Structures are given as C-alpha cells and as structure tokens.
Structure 1
Amino acid sequence: DTEIPSPVAGTLVEIKAEEDETVEVGAVLALVGDGSGSSDSDGGSTDDADTEDESDASAEQIEEKATQAEAPEKTEEAVEEAADEDAGQDKGGAKPEETSASEEDAKRADRERQDADTPTASEPGQGYVTPLVRRLAKQHNVDLSTVRGTGVGGRIRKQDVLAASLAAGEAASGTEKTAAETQAPAAAASAPAAAAESSVDPSVRGNTEKAPRIRQVIAQRMRESLDLSTQLTQVHEVDLTRIVNLRAQAKASFQERNGVKLTYLPFIAQAVAEALKQHPKLNASFSEDNKEITYHASEDLAIAVDTDRGLLVPVIKDAGSLNLSGLAQKIADVADRARTNKIGADELSGGTFSITNIGSVGALFDTPIINQPQVAILGTGAIVKRPMVVTDADGNDSIGIRHMMYLSLTYDHRLVDGADAGRFLMTLRQRLEAGEFGHELGL
C-alpha cells in the first residue's frame, strides 16, 4: 500500500518486479536511465557507458529504497514525505566542468519544459496522483479534479483527499441539520451514540480485493496469539461515579493547563500502572521454549488506537512514572500520531500490558486478544448509568443512580491463574471506585 518514489529523474528502462508481486528485501525493483535511449549506437560508446553507469547507480538507489519500504517500520506517511523530499531535491547529473555548453542548454530546456508541465498547488486536480491516493479518492467518493494538491509541485497527497472528504461531509451534514436537532443538544447527549460510520466504503460490496498489508499483519498476529497462548477472559464491574464527577469539575481547567482533553482513559491507565506494580505477574512475559518468566521492570502500556488503516497499538514507555497530566498528554499524542500515520515503528512495539477502549463504540464488554508476547490485555467498556444498591458508612442500603463500567481482562493461563487475574482486577476496581485523583486535578 505504499508508493516507492524514484530516487532519480530519468526514464524507466526495465521493470524487475510487477504489481502485487512479492519480492525479497533488497531486491531490485526497476532500472532507471537518463532518457538518452540505447538505440543511438552511432553516438559513441561513452554515452552508452554513461547510461549504463547511471542505470546501475539508479538500480542501487532503488534497491536501497526497496529495503526501506519492505521494513515494517516504514509507514505510508513516511513514504509520502520521502517522496516530497525527493521531488524537492536537485537531482543534478555530471559535474559542471564535465558538461559542455550545448549539454547545459539542453538540460536547461528540459528542466524548463518539465517545470511548465508540473502543476502548482493552485491548480486543483492536476498534481501527480499515486494509485494509493486514487484508491482512497474512490473509497471516499472524492473527485480528484476538485482537489488542490499541497505536495511538492502540486502533488495530491492522501491528506488532501481526506480533507476534501471531510469538508464534503461537513457541508452535507450542515445542510441536512434541522432546527429540532440544533435546539435539543441535551437530548442528543443523553441518547445512545448514533450509528457509527463504516470504515469501509459501501461501494466495495460484491468486490474481491487483496487485503492491505496492515490487515494481513493484524490477521497473522491475532491467529498466532491464539495459537500460542491459552487465553480466557474475566469480567468485573466498577463504579466510576466519583471519577465521572471529578472529570466534570476539572475538564475545562485541565484542558486549559495541559492543552489536551481530560478523558477517562488517563484515570484507568494510572490505576492500571499502579496495579501492575502490585501484581507483577500481569506485567510479564512467558517463554515456553526456554521455560522462563520475565518480570518487566517498568510498566510500558500499549494503548489500542482505531485508525482508518486498522488497529494500531502505540506504547507509552514507563507509564508508571507519569502522573495523570503526563498520561493524558502522552495518550493524546500517540493516538493523534497513530491516526495521522506519523507514529514511529519503535513506538509500536515493546509494550508489557495493553489497554483497549471497547466502550468507544458502545460495547459493554469484550474478550480482547492478547498482544504477544504480553500475558494480559484490559478491555474497558462503555460507562452507563444504572440503578445500583448503595451502602452507606452505617451499613444502610439504598438505590441510587451510578455510573458503571465493565472491565474485561484477557489473560494467558499458562502464567496467570484465575485468582491472579481476580486479585489484579480487585486492586484496579478499588483504586477507581475510590476516585482519589482530586489532588492531581487541583480539586
């Protein structure tokens, strides 16, 4: 799903790898010549030799690009940025003292012709468009002739397509919004979430297409996880009423001080990090081959992020050393960069425990799959108001409306027993229900 930009300007001489063909890392993908053509045999062997040298050099550079592109850490965003950088660099040929005046004139004329043919950012729809961008435009029903490219030389990037799609959606929703909708925000806030927009264009119905690379990787890792470990899920219910009230009081001042919104996830992440310190078996790895258990020295929390490309799980290193504000900023940062394809490969590995917010799509609980080689993953469900039995300090019971949430912990039974999972969840539940975060919020 990535475009590999040519490191040099010239003419494509030979294609070594066809579309959708799987090649080894480091394989030559194509040969690029200087455009002089090999059929002009009477021109002298020096030109032919130069062409061959340039083709070989180009092949070496493309080979290097192939190595980088095949590496798992190469993201689509990085490839597009590399393409823009390559497009903006001067790809000079021979040294000035080795080039004749006539050759300079010819090259200057050629550059002027290319510049004239290159669209600017002010000419919508005329920039260079990669197959990836064309496919994205088709999925979002975006007319590329109306898109203004922001890349080098007017190149249309996928961000331009997504921005155009978002603008069109906002315009459509703005014209369709009724007066009743604008006059009833409270009712909308208390109502169940509206039907989520599909992450796949409905126009793909009836089609068969090759799975994107990221989907192939996710499928492989999920299957490997289930094949490797013995997984089961334990569910506890937690009363988040105190945290809900704390957040309502502090969210405005918190955002003003820290520059990010105060969500429920930082509260949960901090409580998880504290619980992992008390229950190191949940913050461990188990090697069946070596018959070894590794208890990790830090709590490196992997946070599942839903992106338009699929599920990514960036890692917050040493989360146990961060306070509530630090966790909120880190979570917002990695989630934003994961969704915009700006996350680094080193930030997508090395986690010791995972958290997935299944409640963001209205789910009460789930049975999440462990992110290997970890031994546990916590799913946080939707927060819902329910009538519950409330016992006061004197032991008297009453019925009250409480904000409740399910915590679902999937654990590897090879290392973690059901009692271990239960004790961890009890520690987590007690910390969250106590809601003692006011000192960190200035309350």
Structure 2
Amino acid sequence: MARFTFKLPDIGEGISEAEIVAWHVAIGDRVEEDSPIADMMTDKATVEMESPVTGVVVELAGEVGEQVSIGAALVVIETDAVDAADEVVAAPLTSAQAETAEQYEAENPGVELLPETGRGTAGEAGGGGGVPQTTPPVADTASVGMFPQTAPPVEAPLHHPADGPPPRAGEDKAHALASPAVRARARDLGIDLASVKSDSDRVRHADLDAYLRYGSGEGYHPPHASRAREDQPIKVIGMRRRIAENMAASKRAIPHFTYVDEIDVTALEAMRADLNANRGGRPKLTMLPLMIVAICKTIPDFPMLNARYDDEAGVVTRHGAIHLGMAAQTDAGLTVPVIRDAQDRNVWQLATEITRLAEAARAGKLAPNEMGGGTITVTSLGPLGGIATTPVINRPEVAIIGPNKIVERPVFRSDGRGGDEVVRAKLMNLSISCDHRVVDGWDAASFVQGLKKYLETPVLLFAD
C-alpha cells in the first residue's frame, strides 16, 4: 500500500496558516476522492478541504482549533496503490493520546513504540519530532502511523490506541461500539459509553446529546424543573474565536462613545406598508433598506463617519463610496457581509442584495470579497432590539449604527389650532457608536439628526 500526504494548499492570498474548525473524518475512516475531510478557516473565509485520493485515513494534523501552516501536512491517507517511495508526514500526538499510548503499552507489552517518521525538525514546515507513535507489530514492513498495512474487515470497527485499550473478551457492554470522534468526545466529557442508550448498534453524537440533556437513569426532566447541570467546557474556536479577537481588539484600541436619539417612524412604516402592497414581483421591504438609503443620503455631509482609521500609520481615509457592512447572525456567530457601493442602489436593489448576503452568510458561502472592506456598519436585533444598544465598532471603521425595536406609544402633537392632542405613534431609538479619535460628539449627534429628517419625512428618501 502507498501513503499519500495531503498538504494544506494556498487557500487565500497572503494567508500563511489556517485554523482547523471541523474534521469530517477520523483516523481509520475510509474516504473517497473529492469527499470532504476538513473545514479550514482563514481571516477571510471558511474553506472545505476535499480528499484528492481514495483510501483510509491514518494521520490527522491536529485537533479542532489548532493552526496548520500552508504547505504543512493536513492528513495522511493510505491508498491501494504500491509506491515504495511514499512520503510520510506524521502528526504529533496530543497529551491525551500520549497518556493513552503509555497505558496501552503497559497493558499490551507485545506492542512496540516506533519513533515518529518522516517529520521535519523544529525548523521545518510542520515542526515537531521525536514524539512516539504506537503501532501494532506486523510481519514484514512498518505500519503507517497506528494502523497495520492489512486493513481489518469492513464490518469490524477500526480501533485506535487513542480510544483506549482494545476490548477484551466478554466486555462488549463495557466497550460500546462508537466512532473515534464519539469516543474522544465522551472521554472529554467524562461519559462512560456503556451507560449511554442508543437506538442503533453504535453510540452516536446524538446519543451523547440526549445523555447530556436528560442524564442517565433519571428519566425525563421537564424544561422548567430546577436541577443542577454539569459544567461544560466549550473550546473557543473558528468563527467564535475570530469574533472574540476582533471585538477585544476593537475595545482595547478604540475609545468608544455612543449617542442615542428617538425617531418617529410612523410615516415611514405607513409608506413601507404601501410599497409592499404594490411591490409586484419585487422583494418585500424591511426597515433596513430604507435605513440604508437614509444613511447614504446623509453621509455626504458627514464624511468623517464613512472612514477607516489606520492607527499604526496614523492615517484616516474618508471613503467616497459607501461599502456598508450588515451584521448578520448565523449559527456559527455574528458575521458582517458588505454591500458594495450602497449609494448606487435603489431601495429594491438593496432589499435583494440584503437577502442574498444574509442567505450566503447563514449557509457559510460568503466570498472573501463579500466579508471585508466595509466603511461603515449597521447592526440590528430586529424585534429584539431593546430600548437602546451600545454596539462595538467593526475596526478599522470609525462608526456603527444600531436601530432598535419599534414600539407604539402615545405622543403629544399639535392639533393645528394652537393646542395639543395625544396620538398613537411608532417610535424607534437609534444608537450610533463612534471612534472618539476621529468623530466628535457634535458630529455624531448632527449625523443622527440628518438621518432623523429623512426617516421622519420619508418622501425625501425618493427625492433627488
């Protein structure tokens, strides 16, 4: 058999490394050509890596959350081809695997520990060296990683030393069938697989989830029941880690201030309802495209808000085009796709682009050029918008706008005869956070007043 080393390709201009955010395979799995093996995240996008060959996975580069350099080995696959000059690039053992390997060696004295092979020295790509790999002895040539050259029958689950010692005769119940990934997760959570119930002959991730929700042998507990839960450590990786790093850098570097004003959107909401009732085949309008039109009409008078601040170079660039970031919530976390040249789009075109970008963000299919280069951002929680928000600036931009929830309240208005009358009005608080190094409080307040004029007199949105 031959060993194929799949090295991480160059997946983006200027990218030197990528983070492992998900493995689609485990050691011992058989993969087909072009089938997914891992999701790798760069600063710009998440890219799915596909296997270039068919074979059995024998080595993985690391755990979820670890970084892999461009050109370093990502996965080693044992193929059916015969090639004596195959390159071998082994991955280092984790501390948990090393500990398990010691236990396995103690309980199986006939197993020989082989030094790591084909791995570069600390100065080479991939790094590491001298970490033992456990390999059952074979009759003729050396094994690849932790598997002998002769594959076990398909119906028998492949065993890996990192999963613990192999089951002994008569211990089937104590060693429930499960994939290496499920075993690793159960071990990390401290769950005995023998106590996990499953509807099939193998314990799966869904069975672990049910075990965590309902416990073992205690029956179902209603959601309102008060009961203690085990602590669950969650590794901060992928999108969540990027968000954490960016937000921390923004708050460390930028002196934020937030200004909030109340806007009467009664007339705007009435106009939006009329437009939707007569939209034909065009997309349904939400508040956001109308808000963006108002922003684009107001910014020319306040160019200091449509800017990016390079604090290392000490340069503020006031942009002529408005590339508007649109904060969108996804299952992986908050992401900010960018509407390019928003000032050149009408309200219907904006609605179409908002829908397209939001769907791409939720599906994880945003292109790299759709995720960066924004000049100002809008973030909204929609009906959950609360009374006011203090949004964090999307660095290196200098301003972020946060419309809040629309509520109906009584207000006083002139009755046209010198008196007042109480009427029902739709009111919305509008928040804006600014970089005080670039934007003064007067500028922020004046900008919001300009927005208020357009939003409270919405016919101006369509006037030249």
Is 1:34–1:54's contact at 8 Å kept on the other side of the alignment? no
Greater relative contact order: 1 or 2 (C-alpha under 8 angstroms, separation 6 or more)?
1
1:381 equivalent to 2:391? Answer no
1:319 equivalent to 2:342? Answer yes
Number of the residue aligned with 1:156: none
Alignment match of 1:226 (pick from 251, 275, 283): 251
Number of the residue aligned with 2:272: 247
Paired letter, 2:391:
P
Partner SS state of residue 379, structure 1: strand
State how far apart, in whole Å, the 2-side matches of 1:208 and 1:6 are: 31
Is 2:263–2:428's contact at 8 Å kept on the other side of the alignment? yes
Alignment match of 2:455 (pick from 432, 437, 440): 432
1:8 equivalent to 2:31? Answer no
The Cα shift of 1:418 comes to: 0.4
Number of the residue aligned with 1:288: 311
Unaligned runs of 5+ in 2: 1-20, 24-37, 39-49, 90-152, 155-178, 186-196, 201-205, 207-222
Number of the residue aligned with 2:395: 372
Is 2:306–2:322's contact at 8 Å kept on the other side of the alignment? yes
After TM superposition, the score normalised by the length of structure 1 is 0.61
State how far apart, in whole Å, the 1-side matches of 2:345 and 2:64 are: 47
Alignment match of 1:332 (pick from 339, 346, 355): 355
The Cα shift of 1:306 comes to: 1.1
Alignment of 1:188-207 (within 5 A): 206-207=231-232
Structural RMSD (CA): 3.7
State how far apart, in whole Å, the 2-side matches of 1:15 and 1:304 are: 35
Identity level (%)? 34
After TM superposition, the score normalised by the length of structure 2 is 0.58
State how far apart, in whole Å, the 1-side matches of 2:399 and 2:237 are: 27
Is 1:34–1:51's contact at 8 Å kept on the other side of the alignment? no
The Cα shift of 1:262 comes to: 1.2
Number of the residue aligned with 1:212: 237
Number of the residue aligned with 1:101: none
The Cα shift of 1:285 comes to: 1.7
Q: As a proportion of its length, which structure holds more strand?
A: 2
Number of the residue aligned with 2:325: 302
State how far apart, in whole Å, the 1-side matches of 2:273 and 2:367 are: 34
Please list the CA deviations of residues 180-199 of structure 1 after superposition, one character each: whole Å capped at 9, or x if unmatched. Answer: xxxxxxxxxxxxxxxxx9xx
The Cα shift of 1:212 comes to: 3.2
- CA 1:29–1:291 in structure 2 vs 1: closer, same or farther (change >3 Å)? closer
State how far apart, in whole Å, the 2-side matches of 1:283 and 1:144 are: 56
Number of aligned residues: 303
Paired letter, 1:281:
M
Q: As a proportion of its length, which structure holds more helix?
A: 1
- CA 1:429–1:206 in structure 2 vs 1: closer, same or farther (change >3 Å)? same
The Cα shift of 1:246 comes to: 1.1
The Cα shift of 1:278 comes to: 1.7
Alignment of 1:69-88 (within 5 A): none
State how far apart, in whole Å, the 1-side matches of 2:75 and 2:332 are: 28
Alignment of 1:5-404 (within 5 A): 5-18=50-63, 21-35=66-80, 47=82, 50-53=83-86, 206-254=231-279, 256-258=280-282, 260-391=283-414, 396-404=419-427
The Cα shift of 1:253 comes to: 2.6
The Cα shift of 1:430 comes to: 0.5
State how far apart, in whole Å, the 2-side matches of 1:427 and 1:399 are: 26
State how far apart, in whole Å, the 1-side matches of 2:316 and 2:434 are: 15
State how far apart, in whole Å, the 1-side matches of 2:199 and 2:462 are: 55
The Cα shift of 1:281 comes to: 0.6
Unaligned runs of 5+ in 1: 37-46, 57-112, 115-128, 136-142, 147-160, 162-196
